[in-house]
Structure 1
Amino acid sequence: MIRASWTSESSVEATLELWASSLWEVKGRMRPLFTQDRVAASAGAFLDGLLGAERRKTGWMRAEAAGDPGPWRQQAVLGRGRWDADALRDVVRDYALETLADPDAVLVLDETGFLKQGKASCGVHRQYTGSAGKITNCQIGVFAAYVSRHGHAFIDRALYLPQTWTSDPARLAAAHVPKGTPFATKPGLALAMIERAMAAGVPFSWVAADTVYGVGDIEMALRRAGKGYVLGAKSDHPFNSWAGKPLVAGTAETIADGLAPSAWTRLSAGDGTKGARLYDWAYCELADLDGAAYDQTGVWTRGLLIRRSLSDGERAYFTTWCPAGTPIQILVSVEGRRWSIEDAFETAKTELGLAHNETRSWHGWHRHVSLVMMAFALLAVIRHHANAPPPKSRARPRRRAH
């Protein structure tokens, strides 16, 4: 069993019971996805392997943990078996939301790389990935994480296909990419995730993302949907104020250079592994706009949020959209939620085998990643329940002395 990464006052017996009942529950939710009992059993064993103590979650390692003579039974779950990975994605989302749902939640969008050798793995290409900090041979997956005061979990994912793939029909066919799959940019994939979340009734008030997703169609879609956002912007992105706001004009970097010392305030973006993540912040309100222009009610404010490191003065810039009167502390808190998806990537890769997919096909990637998402959601639900305060016991009424 994977090591626990939280503290709890629950007894060992209660925690083990919580693990067993939760694992039994998610396997039950997965069962309708499979037409055959043996495939469902293999998927359950696959999930057990992801949650196991082995550091590498390769086919042979998972098979050994399951007592199988070889990896073929579990490999069939990713390849030869017939089941819909998108249906599992939706099961994961609904399962996670039963515990984590909150109207003030933040939907965080980000990407991560999967280092690969060769040219056969679906979507592999020489491209930049922050996971390695350089251009290298890899796949890129775009993810959406649901982050609330109750915890966080992945609820959507998509494999990015570079144009070198979508313009090569033979290569697409060899990797079993569904016919008609068009080229989509990373922001395009993220926008589709936002739309799926809203169509499914996922409760959230904010979206946070880095500069890859910070401008364009995502901004307009969120305004029309009445969702606030804190999205990364490049240093040379132009900003201008109007409609009665203090004069601000120029690139984000130029505006930051011209701010008075009094414009900065020190705030925490949330707790990290070493305590509060403190930065200096500045917030420029650029315009108050009538929400009716976007089929919304009330007044909304467009702004520029700037973060400055205490150690080296490095700055980051964010374009914001929020109900008028929203204090800077709320915007800082929303931006700070982006850390949760970085934590999720690290946990999923180091403990749940997110990067240990050995298949080369489109279906193999989405099935593997969706099973890892289920394992991560299971951990999030267990963590929440294990850390919940015990119910208060009712005090027995005292008997009157006669």
Structure 2
Amino acid sequence: MFNEAPTSAWDGELEELFLRIGSRFGRVEPRRRVRDYVRGLLAPVGRKNGWQLAEWAGHAAPDGLQYLLSRSRWDADCVRDDLQQYVADQLGHTDGVLIVDDTGFVKKGGTSAGVQRQYSGTAGRTENCQIGVFAAYAGSRGHALVDRDLYLPRSWTGDRDRCRAARIPDERVFATKNDLARAMVRRAHASPLRFRWVTADAAYGQDSRFRRLIEDDLQLHYVVAVPKSQQVHGPRIEDRIRREVPPHNWHRLSAGIGAKGERHYDWAGALLPVVAERDGDQPTRRRWMLARRSLNDPTDIAYFLASAPLEATLTDLARIAGCRWKIEECFQSAKNECGLDEYEVRRYTGWYRHITLAMLAHTFLAAAAAQEREKGAATTTHPTSWTSHQPKSAA
């Protein structure tokens, strides 16, 4: 059992979360340490590194928390499974959308698992960094990160001695970011999470195997971004939209609520041939090609492919496409409030453990904010408003 009785309704909810994951830790020491670690990630600590988290928790040194991330016996994937069940219970809804994206973690040196000079969308340039591929779940009650994988470039998987030094398992071979994303969608589909839609940016949307997995293998729907050069039955999508959508068929629609209110764009859509399960069957869904045009800059046009139910409208597809930004909000708040990117671990196992616990902390904030909104007591829709409620004592 985790120590210390709840001291408030907020603390009581956190204790319930610790009870969910408690069975994943065979001894009382790691259960106490993971409790202190997650509480520290939720606390108003200036920097969520080992020393400051240990100091906040009342530890004389960070050794215990470092041991939790490096050598203690527990499986981060099992805790991820518990996190997904928690998200399903707290934020799950039939309107759920799964979102896939990656984010960079800038690092110095060359010994951290997976690090090399590579393009980071987070930094907007090539940096010495690690890349993590993530999935987020979004619904009407809130959104949170639900899965993660560390991308290992060929410079790593082709050097087994380097991998062993970073404690990367021998069975971990090279996989592209898209390979990791497809595996993540499969896991989410097999989890308790309820969703009918998947969305992603063009790095994943242009991958035909990614789209076929969603539509054919898993019988789900998607709205995914693609580059303007994406070929759609021959011609480029940019050319087809220009040719097939007359000027009066653009519609001003919302892509959802952002930090400054509704995010409006001009949208256009064109239907592609219907999709039947087998020859002779009645169609069950329609494919679309979409375009989204900025109101401020009419030359700024983004393109999408969609596979949707027969009854779906352009308004529905604009809403799903707009959900993709929610994973960016998750990255920002998880980094700013829960130390997602402030780890000091270098080995493969430590990365997964820290990232999973930071995701758990961030999910708790999202669930707490959802509960407060529904009670009518929240003063903001941002889940990090709960940070100020964090108890100071966790030891």
Larger radius of gyration: 1
Deviations 1:201-239 (CA, angstroms, capped at 9, x unpaired): 421100000011112211111112221101111111111
Matches within 5 A, 1:242-253: 250-253=235-238
Offset at residue 255 of structure 1 (A): 2.5
Q: Is the contact between residue 84 and residue 192 of structure 2 (CA under 8 Å) also seen in structure 1?
A: no
Matches within 5 A, 1:206-245: 206-214=197-205, 215-224=207-216, 225-240=218-233
Q: Is the contact between residue 241 and residue 270 of structure 2 (CA under 8 Å) also seen in structure 1?
A: no
SS state at 2:357 partner: helix
Q: Is the contact between residue 168 and residue 348 of structure 2 (CA under 8 Å) also seen in structure 1?
A: yes
SS state at 2:59 partner: coil
- Which residue in 2 is equivalent to 1:374? 360
Offset at residue 325 of structure 1 (A): 3.0
Match of 1:325 among 311, 316, 322: 311
Matches of 2:139 and 2:198, distance apart in 1: 12
- Which residue in 1 is equivalent to 2:270? 284
Matches of 1:370 and 1:217, distance apart in 2: 27
SS state at 1:388 partner: helix
Matches of 1:154 and 1:18, distance apart in 2: 24
- Which residue in 2 is equivalent to 1:244? none
Offset at residue 56 of structure 1 (A): 1.3
Q: Is the contact between residue 226 and residue 296 of structure 1 (CA under 8 Å) also seen in structure 2?
A: no
Structure 1 vs Structure 2 CA RMSD = 1.7
Offset at residue 256 of structure 1 (A): 3.4
Does the C-alpha gap of structure 1 residues 274 and 296 become closer, same or farther in structure 2, counting only changes over 3 Å? farther
Return the letter of the residue paired with 1:190: A
Match of 1:202 among 193, 197, 214: 193
SS state at 1:330 partner: helix
Matches of 2:55 and 2:97, distance apart in 1: 39
Does the C-alpha gap of structure 1 residues 53 and 317 become closer, same or farther in structure 2, counting only changes over 3 Å? same
Matches within 5 A, 1:7-22: 17-22=8-13
2:116 maps to 1:125: yes
Matches within 5 A, 1:3-402: 17-214=8-205, 215-224=207-216, 225-240=218-233, 250-258=235-243, 259-292=245-278, 298-313=283-298, 314-389=300-375
Q: Is the contact between residue 109 and residue 145 of structure 1 (CA under 8 Å) also seen in structure 2?
A: yes
Q: Is the contact between residue 270 and residue 288 of structure 2 (CA under 8 Å) also seen in structure 1?
A: yes
Matches of 2:258 and 2:9, distance apart in 1: 27
Does the C-alpha gap of structure 1 residues 95 and 296 become closer, same or farther in structure 2, counting only changes over 3 Å? farther
Gap regions ≥5 residues in structure 1? 1-15, 241-248, 392-402
Deviations 1:118-143 (CA, angstroms, capped at 9, x unpaired): 10000001111111000111000000
Deviations 1:162-209 (CA, angstroms, capped at 9, x unpaired): 111111101110110112111111111111111111222421100000
Offset at residue 323 of structure 1 (A): 1.4
SS state at 2:278 partner: helix
Q: Is the contact between residue 298 and residue 323 of structure 1 (CA under 8 Å) also seen in structure 2?
A: no
Q: Which moved more, 1:117-126 or 1:307-316?
A: 307-316
Q: Is the contact between residue 128 and residue 136 of structure 1 (CA under 8 Å) also seen in structure 2?
A: yes
SS state at 1:161 partner: coil
Deviations 1:340-383 (CA, angstroms, capped at 9, x unpaired): 11000000111110001101011000000000111011111111
Offset at residue 297 of structure 1 (A): 7.2
Matches of 2:118 and 2:281, distance apart in 1: 39
Matches of 1:257 and 1:18, distance apart in 2: 56
SS state at 1:164 partner: helix
Q: Identity over the aligned pairs, expressed in percent?
A: 39
Does the C-alpha gap of structure 1 residues 141 and 297 become closer, same or farther in structure 2, counting only changes over 3 Å? farther
Return the letter of the residue paired with 1:198: H
- Which residue in 2 is equivalent to 1:5? none
Runs of 4+ in 1 over 3 A off after TM superposition: 256-259, 295-298
Return the letter of the residue paired with 1:39: P
Return the letter of the residue paired with 1:382: A
Does the C-alpha gap of structure 1 residues 33 and 286 become closer, same or farther in structure 2, counting only changes over 3 Å? same
- Which residue in 1 is equivalent to 2:382? none
Q: Is the contact between residue 18 and residue 382 of structure 1 (CA under 8 Å) also seen in structure 2?
A: no
Q: Is the contact between residue 274 and residue 283 of structure 2 (CA under 8 Å) also seen in structure 1?
A: no
Q: Is the contact between residue 34 and residue 83 of structure 1 (CA under 8 Å) also seen in structure 2?
A: yes
Matches of 1:367 and 1:292, distance apart in 2: 44
Matches of 2:222 and 2:81, distance apart in 1: 24
| TM-score, length of structure 1 as denominator length | 0.88
Matches of 1:114 and 1:296, distance apart in 2: 48
Matches of 2:49 and 2:22, distance apart in 1: 23
